[in-house]
Structure 1
């Protein structure tokens, strides 16, 4: 797979960022939390789905970072604490990924 050098960290559902902030402020960054990658319904009213894209998901997670323009954008929303924004500046994924096998 060819590496994508663009920073796509902010291409997410904004709800995920507000939830991360909530976990950070309520649990003082000490608890483990889980987030999911999913879709709500099969396209074209299909009756089944085949899982694909694990490599791209893992690459996104491992390259997840927030540059100064990301931090400035988040700060300008007026809902995130400075402590959380400082945490994001040095964020690096250290968790585990559980997934279905490709093609299942």
Structure 2
């Protein structure tokens, strides 16, 4: 079995370029595990967002929830980070790398 291939994906959202990094599926599992609301089986959007900003979104660095002016933009950035974290852009990133060669 081939080892995980880490990669980054760029996406412009409302004029800001965001770079998210795939860190392996263990990162995605850890994010979910650390996002549970104590005593429940529900995940906290705030905890998940903070995890994504600290571990997945690599540019711009140091993002926080309060950096966003609308829930729409916040949700779009978190959704982008979550998709990359889960490996959903892997084939597109590999296709771009192959095309450059």
Larger RCO, structures 1/2 (Cα 8 Å, 6+ apart): 1
TM over 0.5: no
Question: Rg larger in 1 or in 2?
Answer: 1
Normalising by structure 1, we get a TM-score of: 0.28
Q: Which structure shows the bigger proportion of residues in helix conformation? A: 2
Normalising by structure 2, we get a TM-score of: 0.29
